[in-house]
Amino acid sequence: MDALLFVAAALRISVPYTLAALGATFSERGGVINIALEGMMLSGALGYVLGAHATGNPWIGLAAALAAGLATGLIHALVTVRFRADQITSGLGINLLAAGLTKFILTQVFHSSSNSTRVVGMPGWRLAGLENLPALGSVLATPLVLMTVALVLVGQAALFRSVFGLRLRSVGERPEAAATLGLPVTFYRYAGVLISGALAALGGAWLASEQHSFTDGMTNGRGYIAIAAMIVGKWSPLGAAAACLLFGAAEALQITLQGSAFPTELLQTLPYVVTMLALAGFIGRAIPPRALGTPYDPEHAG
Amino acid sequence: MKAPSRAALLTASAPLIAVALALLAGAGFIAAIGEDPLAIYALMARETLGTGYGIGQTLFKATPLVFCGLSVGLGFRAGLFNIGVEGQLTVAAFAAALVGAALAHLPAIALLPLTLATAIATGALWGAVPGVLKARFGSHEVINTIMLNFIAAALVSYLGRGVFEPATVRTAEIGAGATLPRLDLLWPVLRGSPANLALPIALAVAALVGVLLFRTRLGFELRALGLNAPAAEYGGIPIGATQVKAMALSGAIAGLAGMNFVLGYKHFFELGFSAGVGFIGIAVALLGRNHPVGITIAALFFGGLLYGGLAINERVPKELVEVLLAIVILLAISVQQVIERIARKMAA
């Protein structure tokens, strides 16, 4: 039973990581580095709370989160794809923007720069008795958890088994070659970044729904952990999801050990250390898409 | 003959255009919450530049930004993106505060240099790690420095368990010999503001970085690496070793960024004291075009914004400044690209 509770906690924790990391595979496979995940998640979290607060309907909250994530993604796409500016700097700028703007909006709507009022969370589902499973039931029967599992599978298929995925990857590997074949490079890069914004925002919405509120800086570095997971997962949805589960398990363990003499702070560094080892090539070589980080300039192509 | 110089002038104006557009966007936000943008900006200017105290506060806020901007800018010059300033300054400030407290009995002539050297060495060491990883394994410094920021935070909070004052997240006070005196002792007009001797140190480091970059062999090698790594290697510059040196130097400068707070203001290290100043350093370097003079000016500007934000907080949430900073970053890099394209066309 304890083991099951632990698995349930790990699953629950890994949901927002998985959504954001899955999105990042699309952005980066298309050639755009996405350090902006943190800001996209934060925007999604606030979007959910604003939508749910205004209507009392969690689904409208979810839609508002998606809109906020797409808007944030659009800024990243405009700066990096349209204006071809540095992708890393843009990501950091967006994270700063989201941190500031969410607090700014918070003060205007909820008259506090630290937290919102309580909002409704996502409802549980009754689904073929799934909700009756011991310990795991309450996690598995949650709409966003099921959606996350489905999205990972669909994402894996879309990226590696569909025409869209093939084209997106070609744009991230050799944009000039893709353009020669008549592919609209810019369109695919926009698509990758926007998908990333939407999925990261869903992750943020999950956090806000679980907590029933928005608090200042509530994503707390999760966007960066999601990037780490995507790298450890070698830019593939399934790999990223596996890394997120690992990181989620580490975090669950850390919560279990809290208060004991065990140095939980050191356990907290596991995702970061694993990522640095992966980048250095100790856990198989993680090779980024070839044109990752390089703006595509049609005037200078070929 | 005329066109290229006009193009160069245009390129140089990019940061100013970005700032102007950002202030315009900020005016939109201010108007959106029903305040008068001009009145708010005027109030901001009055509170920061209109009194000796305001100037002192601006200088105080600008001091760590000079260090952070120099740290990021030096990295950029060598083609390295150091996002790890936050982590570097955290471990350095922590180590320096411990040394300053442990050897509190020493006189200033010994303790102050020892404390500063600890900060420099710790920052350099923490900064060198991603440099070594890049040189040895080719792993990208951006991800590694981000990871090291989180590791630094976790490490300091773990080590802090043993050394923080009971029921706090701060270290014991440093000895009097390690403190940096306030500037208002020298200029009474700054009275009450926490601006301290860390500022002249920052300006001296800016001058040193200028000399290093433009007057020494190492500086030439760093810049060559940043401009064209393959050509630099062909020219006999050891790429890996130079990358490690650049990251260590960048970390060393970042290490000094916490001294404004630890040695000059509170006289102890406290978890979270830096409040993201390492990231603002990126904006400072961008706007200052990675040049020590530009960086110093940009740091003063952002320092004024940060203090100005606090001064207007009763009428407009101070978060406006964070938003402004972010917009400046996003616009600076976008405008730069657009203008460079125009300049290329003009020169062609």
pLDDT in tens, B245-265: 999 999 999 999 999 999 999
Q: Return d(Cα B149, Cα B91) in angstroms, integer.
A: 9
Asked whether B254 and B92 are in contact (CB, 8 A), the reply is yes
Please indicate whether residue A129 or residue A251 has the higher confidence score (pLDDT). A251
Q: Is the pLDDT score of A176 beyond 50?
A: yes
- Is B202 a domain residue? yes
Q: Where are the beta strands (DSSP E) in chain A?
A: none
Residue A145 per-residue DSSP state: H
Please indicate whether residue A75 or residue A136 has the higher confidence score (pLDDT). A75
B154 and A268: CB-CB below 8 Å?
Answer: yes
A75 and B330: CB-CB below 8 Å?
Answer: yes
Shortest CA distance to B296 belongs to which of B309, B307, B281, B306? B281
The three-class DSSP label of residue A295 is coil
* Set of chain A residues whose Cβ sits within 8 Å of the Cβ of B338: 83
Q: Tens digits of per-residue pLDDT, B132-151?
A: 999 999 888 999 999 999 99
- Is B208 a domain residue? yes
Q: Give the range among A9-13, B149-153, B221-225, B341-345 with minimum mean pLDDT.
A: B341-345
pLDDT band at residue A126 using 50, 70 and 90 as cut-offs: low
A97 and B29: CB-CB below 8 Å?
Answer: no
Q: Is the dihedral of CA B313, B319, B322, B324 positive or negative?
A: negative
pLDDT band at residue A283 using 50, 70 and 90 as cut-offs: confident
User: What phi and psi values does residue B182 have, to the nearest 5 degrees?
Assistant: -80, 150
Q: Is the pLDDT score of A300 beyond 70?
A: no
The mean pLDDT of chain B is: 94
pLDDT of residue B193: 94
Q: Between A113, A268, A281, which is nearest B317 by CB? A: A113
Q: Tens digits of per-residue pLDDT, A143-161?
A: 788 889 999 999 999 999 9
B330 and A113: CB-CB below 8 Å?
Answer: no
Tokens 């440093």 belong to: B174
Mean pLDDT for A64-72 is: 98
B162: which 2 tokens? 């043993």
Mean pLDDT for B29-33 is: 95
Which residue does chain A place closest to B33, by CA atoms?
A108
The mean pLDDT of chain A is: 91
DSSP result, A219-281? TTTHHHHHHHHHHHTTT-HHHHHHHHHHHHHHHHHHHHHTTSSS-HHHHHTHHHHHHHHHHTT
Which of A46, A76, A89 to mutate to test binding with chain B, by most B CBs within 10 Å of its CB? A89
Mean pLDDT for A60-77 is: 98
Which of B29, B136, B323 to mutate to test binding with chain A, by most A CBs within 10 Å of its CB? B323
pLDDT of residue B1: 44
Domain boundaries, chain A: 2-300
A266 and B337: CB-CB below 8 Å?
Answer: no
User: What phi and psi values does residue A76 have, to the nearest 5 degrees?
Assistant: -60, -40
Q: Is the pLDDT score of A136 beyond 80?
A: no
With a pLDDT cut of 90, the percent of chain B lying above it is 88
| Helix ranges, A128-236 (H) | 137-140, 143-161, 163-173, 175-180, 185-211, 222-232
Model ipTM over 0.90: yes
Q: Between A104, A263, A266, which is nearest B319 by CB? A: A104
Please indicate whether residue B12 or residue B154 has the higher confidence score (pLDDT). B154
Beta carbon pairs, A and B, within 8 Å: 122
pLDDT of residue A129: 66
Which fold would CATH assign to domain A2-300?
Answer: ABC transporter involved in vitamin B12 uptake, BtuC (1.10.3470)
Q: Is the pLDDT score of B2 beyond 60?
A: no
pTM of the model: 0.94
The three-class DSSP label of residue B152 is helix
Q: Tens digits of per-residue pLDDT, B308-323?
A: 999 999 899 999 999 9
Asked whether B199 and B183 are in contact (CB, 8 A), the reply is yes
pLDDT band at residue A21 using 50, 70 and 90 as cut-offs: very high
Q: Is the pLDDT score of A105 beyond 90?
A: yes
Q: Return d(Cα A183, Cα A191) in angstroms, integer.
A: 13
**What is the domain extent for residue B276?**
65-299
Please indicate whether residue B97 or residue A7 has the higher confidence score (pLDDT). B97
Domains in chain B, number: 1
Q: Does A258 touch chain B (CB under 8 A)?
A: no
Tokens 């907080």 belong to: B313
pLDDT of residue A135: 66
Q: Tens digits of per-residue pLDDT, B273-301?
A: 998 899 999 999 999 999 999 999 999 99
B155 and A265: CB-CB below 8 Å?
Answer: yes
pLDDT of residue B77: 97
pLDDT band at residue A140 using 50, 70 and 90 as cut-offs: confident
pLDDT of residue A302: 41
- Is B5 a domain residue? no
Q: Is the pLDDT score of A286 beyond 90?
A: no
B282: which 2 tokens? 């990126």
- Is B266 a domain residue? yes
Q: Return d(Cα A236, Cα A93) in angstroms, integer.
A: 26
- Is B241 a domain residue? yes
Q: Is the pLDDT score of B4 beyond 60?
A: no
Q: A59-89 burial by CB neighbour count: b if 16+ within 10 A, else e?
A: ebbbbbbbbbbbebbebbbbbbbbbbbbbbb
